[in-house]
Amino acid sequence: MSKLPKVLHLAQELEFDEPYLNTLKEAGFQCYPANDRKKLLNLLESEELDLLILDWRNDDTSEWLIEQIREFLQWQGPILFIAEKDESEALQKVCIHHQDNFLTRPIQPNTLLSYADKLVHDARYSMHQDNFDLGPYHISLNRKQISFKGKPINLTSKEFELGALFLKNPGRLYSRKFLLKKIWHIDCDISTRTVDAHISSLRKKLNIKGDGLYRIKTVYQHGYRLELLEETEAVA
């Protein structure tokens, strides 16, 4: 893999799962263990992660967490659930709905490693296609070019990176901290208008101003996301 894959692991008992994490670490994975759902959601907003490994609880807390990850944050990366055998039937229905995967305890370390390798590889392959389209937009990553209805848009390098990120992941919520780290390689808590200024410029250049079928929405205290508007919402 081109860079070390990052895995975020939410466990009820971290000590119990430590052997699994050690197997991943020895294979070159960067592991971020957590036993707090709020911490997990904050990390999803601020870090570029390749895989989530989540302990499954057959109760409302797990369903709420999945809703936050998939619906609110719109994080589309792979999730691997770890469950007890007697919980597998209920979990299977959830995984089919969200196209996720699960393993039941006891788990052989090599089995976990094989699943993690495949899920990260498949996700990275789909994310790094050279060209893709979204509505009237065509994005060429190798030429660093975004076109609108066939006409190239004049963008700075940072505007291109930012625009390509949003257009590749419509609905995904990005925090300012994440964008600063991903686009500007600034990894610290600083007060800056850099992100806001570039978002404003991008809205104008991409013609995403809320009066068409798309908008870059400011989500209070969280960040930004690209949204597809219903036709009835768009202003003619």
- For residue 82, what are the β-bridge partners? 55, 103
Q: Helix or strand or coil: residue 33? A: strand
131-228 belongs to CATH 1.10.10.10: yes
Mean predicted confidence (pLDDT) in 185-198: 82
Please tell me the predicted confidence (pLDDT) of residue 231: 44
Q: Which residues contact 108 (CB under 8 A, 6 or more apart)?
A: none
> H helices of the chain, where?
14-26, 37-46, 60-67, 88-98, 109-127, 157-168, 176-183, 194-205
Please tell me the predicted confidence (pLDDT) of residue 232: 36
The answer to whether the bond into 136 is cis (omega within 30° of 0) is no
Residue 7, Cβ density class (10 Å: 0-12 exposed, 13-18 middle, ≥19 buried): buried
For 5-42, the pLDDT digits (tens) are 889 888 765 555 677 788 899 999 998 888 788 888 98
Q: Helix or strand or coil: residue 139? A: strand
Top-tier CATH class for 6-127: alpha beta
Q: Which residues contact 63 (CB under 8 A, 6 or more apart)?
A: 94
Locate tokens 């691997």: which residue? 80
Tell me the average pLDDT of the chain.
Answer: 84
Please tell me the predicted confidence (pLDDT) of residue 200: 94
Please tell me the predicted confidence (pLDDT) of residue 142: 84
Give me the amino acid identity at 147: S
Is a pLDDT exceeding 70 seen at residue 190? no
Domain ranges of the chain: 6-127, 131-228
CA gap 205, 168 in Å, rounded = 17
